Structure 1
Amino acid sequence: GHFSAFNLDVTEGVLKELDTSLRPIRVDISSSNQVISLEHGDVDLNAALAMTSQRMKRLDFVGPIASGALGFMVRAGDEGIKTLADLEGKAICAPDGSTGADIMTREGHLKDRLITLRDTHSCIESLKKKEVDVVVGDTLPLSALALEDTDIRIAPNVTIGAPSQYGIALPKGHSKDCIRLRDALLKYVASGKWLEAFRNRLPNTAQRANELQPSADQINARSCRD
Structure 2
Amino acid sequence: MLAVLAAGCTAADAEPTLIGEGKKVRVGAKSDQPGTSHEPHAGEFEGFDITVAREVLGGVGVDAESVRFDGVLSKNRAKDLRAGDFDLVTATYSITLQRTLPVEEGGEGLDFVGPYASTPQGVLVRADDKDSYRNLSDLDGKQICVWEGTTSLTELSKPAYQLIRLRVEKDAGYCVKALKAGDVDAVSTDQLILYGFMEAEPTLAVVPGIAFGVVNDYGIAMHRTPAHRKDCEKLREALKTYVAGNEWGRDFENNLPRVPVAARNEARPTATEIDAVSCRERPANARVD
- The normalised TM-score by structure 2 is 0.74
- Aligned equivalent of 1:137, options 185, 189, 194: 189
Does the C-alpha gap of structure 1 residues 103 and 180 become closer, same or farther in structure 2, counting only changes over 3 Å? same
**Higher mean displacement: 85-94 or 204-213:** 204-213
- Structure 1 residue 142 displacement after superposition: 1.1
The answer for unaligned runs of 5 or more in structure 2 is: 1-39, 102-108, 282-289
Query: Does the Cα contact within 8 Å between 1:199 and 1:206 map onto a contact in 2?
Result: no
Task: Establish whether residue 123 from structure 1 lines up as the match of residue 167 from structure 2.
Answer: no
- Aligned equivalent of 2:72, options 16, 25, 29: 29
1:28-59 CA-partner distances (Å, limit 9, x unpaired): 22211111111111211111310011111120
Q: Which residue is equivalent to 2:89?
A: 46
Distance in 1, matches of 2:153 and 2:275, equals 29
Q: Which amino acid is 2:85 matched to?
A: D
Distance in 2, matches of 1:155 and 1:33, equals 29
- Aligned equivalent of 1:16, options 54, 58, 62: 58
- Aligned equivalent of 2:118, options 55, 59, 67: 67
Task: Establish whether residue 113 from structure 1 lines up as the match of residue 130 from structure 2.
Answer: no
Q: Which residue is equivalent to 1:7?
A: 49
Distance in 2, matches of 1:107 and 1:164, equals 20
Distance in 2, matches of 1:63 and 1:16, equals 16
Task: Establish whether residue 224 from structure 1 lines up as the match of residue 279 from structure 2.
Answer: yes
The answer for unaligned runs of 5 or more in structure 1 is: none
Task: Establish whether residue 84 from structure 1 lines up as the match of residue 136 from structure 2.
Answer: yes
Q: Which amino acid is 1:10 matched to?
A: V
Task: Establish whether residue 186 from structure 1 lines up as the match of residue 240 from structure 2.
Answer: yes
1:45-86 CA-partner distances (Å, limit 9, x unpaired): 111310011111120000000000000000111121211001
Q: Which residue is equivalent to 1:158?
A: 210
Distance in 2, matches of 1:85 and 1:197, equals 35
- Structure 1 residue 206 displacement after superposition: 5.0
Query: Does the Cα contact within 8 Å between 2:178 and 2:184 map onto a contact in 1?
Result: yes
Distance in 1, matches of 2:163 and 2:223, equals 32
**Higher mean displacement: 2-11 or 43-52:** 2-11
Query: Does the Cα contact within 8 Å between 1:31 and 1:96 map onto a contact in 2?
Result: yes
Q: Which residue is equivalent to 2:286?
A: none
Does the C-alpha gap of structure 1 residues 143 and 18 become closer, same or farther in structure 2, counting only changes over 3 Å? same
- Which structure ranks higher in relative contact order (CA pairs < 8 Å, sequence separation ≥ 6)? 1
Bigger Rg, which one:
2
Distance in 2, matches of 1:183 and 1:206, equals 28
Q: Which amino acid is 2:256 matched to?
A: L
- Structure 1 residue 154 displacement after superposition: 0.4
- Structure 1 residue 160 displacement after superposition: 1.9
- Structure 1 residue 94 displacement after superposition: 0.4
**Higher mean displacement: 107-116 or 85-94:** 107-116
Distance in 1, matches of 2:201 and 2:127, equals 9
Q: Percent identical across equivalent pairs?
A: 36
